[in-house]
């Protein structure tokens, strides 16, 4: 047996399978030409950042527009960072916005697909097959350096522009098999390092699908592949997993950009075909004219739970994310108003290189529009689902009489020009509060141009003449009649021309009635509101207003 083989046996005595066995066990998927396999590879930190949802959506859509596969792999190699329940938080956050994996980790302790396990912590034997093979090929070696040894190397590198464990500094590179055997016999722990074939004077290249042509110096560092507990580092796990899980497009945050020379080299040493890379720039936020990353610490909207808690429907958030993903989406939307999001030809190459800008006002505008186009029953169902979770009292009121609530939500909806005034379901309670006496605030604050005597006069007449059986035209004709009787003009233009001839105009009369019935100066269609409240309730409110 040659030395390398002996060393490989010494380090990995239990590994009997070979890379060829792995290739056979995890063959490429039988997908149609051009289908892309993408993944989201979150670490279970217990926090799902909007950026994770964004990158996940990019990966998801990339797979979907090509009839490919999107899978979720949990990168839980750092056991110290593990948080209880974190997988659930993450998957729930993704699922809330329809980013659902075809394969991989689909629930806490629930996996689907033939390329697993999809938890990195359970893939140790697979990593070791490839690690053993690298040792056999003299492309990896055990390193016994302690923290003190590494400090010493660092101290010796004070004037060295290229710091780190490489070349002549990589002292364990030169250990003989005998020395290694002795170290192991003595019980010394080891990490496995790449024997980097890199050359400092050379460059490596790749074409990033978002950032374009990338050129960087080759990697020369003997990076750690396996930690002393045999668990892989991110770099090694990424190369092995994305190859053997047959990822065609690695879509990830651009903080990994600088590690690409290591990754390119690893893929080469391992004999793997290089996947395509797309490095997604972070979502930015503008603050006092400066741009910075959307921050978990400073921005509540950085947490995906924020959108769930506020009750933004997935349709709105997804629509908004699409505007951040491809700037041509909005033009497409203008000409494809009714089309489902899935019909948009999302293109990785059209993503922002500098980082899309998060804009709450825009999200709200988009969401108002999206909600305005929903049928009332859908708004009702969504609001009820939200309230059940986040506002139990309101849930009780809302669901007490479903028909009443759906009618209420249908005012100025389902027509050609629906009102765009609800951005998220947590706003509904306040928006409709006057429909429920338990939460209505019917106190009246008259506009400056209307005295309480004027208001009383209007309401007195209205109570007297109120007839709930009038249809909408009849109702409005009656208000106009009241104007004539009370010295107001039904014609606003006429009032503007000749203000001294009248007490006010039709708007003033209806404002007083509106205030008495709803406690508000502005509401959707007052006639519809009164129809839903019902004759008895309207009369009672008018009388209370007079009291």
Q: Which chain residues interact with ligand GLU by CB under 6 A?
A: 41-43, 75, 238, 252-253, 256
Residue 98, Ramachandran bin (φ over 0: left; ψ between -120 and 50: alpha; else beta): left
Return the ∠ at Cα 95 (arms to 306 and 322), rounded to 5°. Answer: 70
Find the shortest distance in angstroms from Cβ 90 to ligand GLU: 10
| Shortest Å distance, C-beta 212 to ligand GLU | 20
541, 535, 521: which is closest to 470 by C-alpha?
535
- Contact by Cβ (8 Å): 104, 71: yes
Quote the crossing angle between the two packed helices 526-533 and 402-409, to the nearest 10°. 180
Residue 381 Cβ vs ligand GLU, minimum distance, rounded to whole Å? 34
Sheet holding 110-112, edge to edge: 37-40, 69-72, 103-107, 110-112
How far, in Å, CA of 341 to CA of 339, rounded? Answer: 6
d(CA 490, CA 493): 9
Q: Indicate the residue among 132 and 249 with the shorter CB distance to ligand GLU.
A: 249
Min dist CB 171 to ligand GLU, Å, is 31
DSSP string across 200-258:
TT-EEEEEETTTEEEEEEPP-B--EEE-TTSPBPHHHHHHHHHHHTT-SEEEEEGGGGG
3-class SS letters over 100-143: CCCEEEEECCEEECCCCCCEHHHCHHHHHHHHHHHHHCCCEEEE
Task: State which residue, 43 or 133, has the beta carbon closest to ligand GLU.
Answer: 43
* CB of 136 or CB of 241, closer to ligand GLU: 241
Q: How far is the CB of 235 from ligand GLU (least distance, A)?
A: 10
Pick 247 or 511: Cβ nearer ligand GLU:
247
Nearer to ligand GLU, 42 or 93 (CB): 42
- In 3-state terms, what secondary structure has residue 368? helix
In the bound complex, what is the minimum distance in angstroms from residue 255's beta carbon to ligand GLU? 7
**Phi, psi of 347, deg, nearest 5:** -130, 120
Count of H-run helices and E-run strands, the chain: 23, 16
Of the two residues 193 and 238, which places its CB atom closer to ligand GLU in the complex?
238
Strand partners, 59: none
For the CB of residue 238, give the shortest distance to ligand GLU in the complex, in Å. 5
CB of residue 355 to ligand GLU, shortest distance in Å: 16
Q: Which is nearer to ligand GLU, 42 or 142 (CB)?
A: 42
- Residues 6 or more apart whose CB falls under 8 angstroms from that of 63 comprise 35, 36, 37, 38, 69, 70, 102
Q: How many residues does the chain have?
A: 547
Task: State the nearest-atom distance from the C-beta of 86 to ligand GLU, in Å.
Answer: 12
CB nearer to ligand GLU: give 348 or 454. Answer: 348
**Nearest to ligand GLU by Cβ — which residue?**
252
By beta-carbon proximity to ligand GLU, the closer residue of 256 and 431 is: 256
> Would you call 413 exposed, middle or buried from its count of C-beta atoms within 10 A (0-12, 13-18, 19+)?
middle
CB 294 within 8 A of CB 54: no
- Shortest distance (Å) from residue 167 CB to ligand GLU: 28
User: How far apart, in whole angstroms, are the C-alpha atoms of residue 543 and residue 130?
Assistant: 83
Considering beta carbons, is residue 4 or 45 the nearer one to ligand GLU?
Answer: 45
């Amino acid at each position: 047996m040659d030395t390398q083989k002996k060393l490989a046996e010494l380090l990995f005595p239990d590994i009997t399978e070979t890379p060829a066995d792995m290739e056979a066990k995890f063959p490429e998927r039988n997908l149609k030409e051009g289908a892309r396999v993408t993944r989201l590879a979150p670490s279970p930190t217990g926090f799902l950042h909007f950026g994770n949802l964004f990158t996940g959506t990019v990966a998801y859509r990339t797979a979907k527009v090509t009839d490919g596969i999107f899978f979720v792999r949990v990168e839980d190699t750092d056991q110290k960072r593990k948080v209880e329940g974190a997988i659930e938080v993450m998957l729930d956050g993704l699922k809330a916005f329809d980013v659902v994996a075809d394969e991989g980790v689909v629930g806490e302790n629930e996996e689907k697909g033939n390329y697993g396990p999809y938890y990195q912590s359970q893939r140790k034997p697979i990593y070791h097959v490839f690690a053993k093979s690298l040792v056999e090929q003299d492309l990896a070696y055990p390193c016994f350096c302690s923290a003190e040894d590494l400090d010493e190397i660092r101290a010796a590198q004070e004037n060295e522009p290229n710091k780190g464990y490489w070349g002549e500094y990589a002292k364990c590179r030169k250990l003989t098999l005998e020395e290694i055997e002795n170290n192991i016999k003595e019980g010394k722990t080891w990490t496995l390092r790449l024997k980097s074939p890199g050359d400092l004077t050379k460059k490596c290249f790749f074409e990033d699908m978002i950032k374009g042509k990338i050129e960087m110096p080759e990697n020369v560092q003997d990076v750690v592949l396996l930690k002393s507990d045999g668990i892989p580092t991110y770099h090694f796990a990424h190369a092995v997993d994305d190859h053997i899980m047959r990822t065609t497009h690695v879509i990830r945050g651009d903080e990994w950009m600088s590690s690409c020379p290591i990754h390119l080299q690893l893929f080469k040493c391992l004999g793997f075909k290089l996947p395509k890379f797309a490095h997604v720039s972070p979502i930015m936020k503008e603050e006092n004219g400066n741009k910075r990353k959307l921050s978990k610490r400073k921005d509540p909207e950085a947490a995906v739970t924020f959108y769930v808690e506020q009750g933004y429907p997935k349709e709105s958030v997804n629509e908004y994310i699409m505007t951040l993903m491809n700037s041509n989406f909005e033009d497409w939307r203008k000409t494809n108003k009714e089309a489902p999001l899935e019909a948009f030809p999302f293109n990785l190459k059209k993503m922002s290189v500098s980082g899309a800008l998060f804009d709450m006002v825009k999200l709200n505008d988009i969401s108002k529009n999206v909600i305005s186009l929903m049928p009332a029953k859908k708004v009702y169902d969504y609001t009820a689902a939200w309230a059940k979770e986040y506002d139990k009292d309101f849930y009780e009121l809302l669901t007490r009489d479903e028909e009443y609530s759906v009618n209420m939500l249908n005012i100025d909806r389902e027509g050609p020009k629906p009102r765009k005034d609800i951005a998220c379901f947590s706003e509904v309670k306040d928006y409709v509060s006057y429909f429920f006496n338990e939460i209505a605030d019917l106190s009246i604050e008259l506009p400056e141009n209307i005295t309480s005597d004027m208001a009383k006069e209007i309401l007195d007449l209205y109570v007297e003449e109120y007839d709930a059986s009038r249809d909408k035209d009849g109702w409005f004709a009656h208000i106009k009649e009241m104007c004539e009787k009370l010295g107001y003009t039904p014609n606003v233009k006429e009032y503007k021309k000749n203000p001294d001839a009248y007490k006010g105009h039709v708007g003033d009369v209806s404002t007083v009635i509106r205030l008495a019935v709803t406690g508000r100066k502005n509401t959707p269609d007052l006639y519809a509101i009164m129809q839903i409240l019902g004759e008895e309730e309207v009369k009672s409110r008018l009388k209370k207003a007079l009291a």
